[in-house]
Amino acid sequence: MTNTNTIDTPLHATQPTPNTQWVLASNNKGKLAEFKRLFAEANLEVTIIPQGQLDIEDAIEDGLSFVENAIIKARHASRISGLPAIADDSGLCVPALGNAPGIYSARYAGEHGNDSKNNAKLMADLQPIRAAKSDAPVEGLFVCVLAMVRHADDPLPIIAQGLWHGEISETAHGDGGFGYDPLFWLPDLQASAASLSAADKNSISHRGQAIQQLLAQLPFLYKYSYKGKKHKET
């Protein structure tokens, strides 16, 4: 029987032959859905296994930056599984709030993963700032850092970062996506992240950018070649 929860993608190996199974260190359903589409588009011959299928619980994220937390999660999944692992740490940064919610985006209102409460707290925290600067848009950016380790003690993790700039809307728009997507407004498109199709979002999002950066590094750092977009060597 085919396991429909794994992410199967075509990868070409040069030498040495790579491990053809990687663990994706996330149990976030929204992220897993986006990664499934992004890795499928990358055309890798690797089976990406969400850590939940291996009964791996979430790591304790006690780093002080997106980079630290991504590495912590990747090492945690790799150590338990014995496989290479990829981890994502991502969130929303609002400069007017000192870059909060930042690494605490998923638990900004206290309860981990409660999108409605997190969005409500963000809007409440921005009220005095909007009152003081009523005509100025509130800038925000989504951040995604990916870390890949070939083994749990890998001294050279592969790091990729994507930044997606936009504004924080005063009201929610759209019913797609997850997290802060309904409040993340894209003025050039006159749409929120939650209003975009999955394909359109992945083509410009912080996570889509980070995936492309990660893939571009694989031929040099992991001896992989992939049949996706070509990147010029510099």
Non-local (6+) Cβ contacts of 80 within 8 A are 54, 56
Question: In this structure, what is the dihedral angle of CA atoms 176, 126, 66, 49, given to the nearest 10 degrees?
Answer: -20
* Cα–Cα distance for residue pair 149/22, rounded to 1 Å: 10
| SS3 call for 87 | strand
- Look up 200 and say whether it is catalytic: no
Angle at which helix 206-221 crosses helix 29-42, to 10 degrees, equals 50
* Cα–Cα distance for residue pair 196/177, rounded to 1 Å: 8
Candidate list 89, 115, 125, 200, residue with the active-site label: 89
E strands in 71-132: 85-94, 100-101
* Cα–Cα distance for residue pair 232/234, rounded to 1 Å: 6
Closest CA to 96 of 30, 140, 159: 140
For the annotated catalytic residues, the residue numbers are: 89
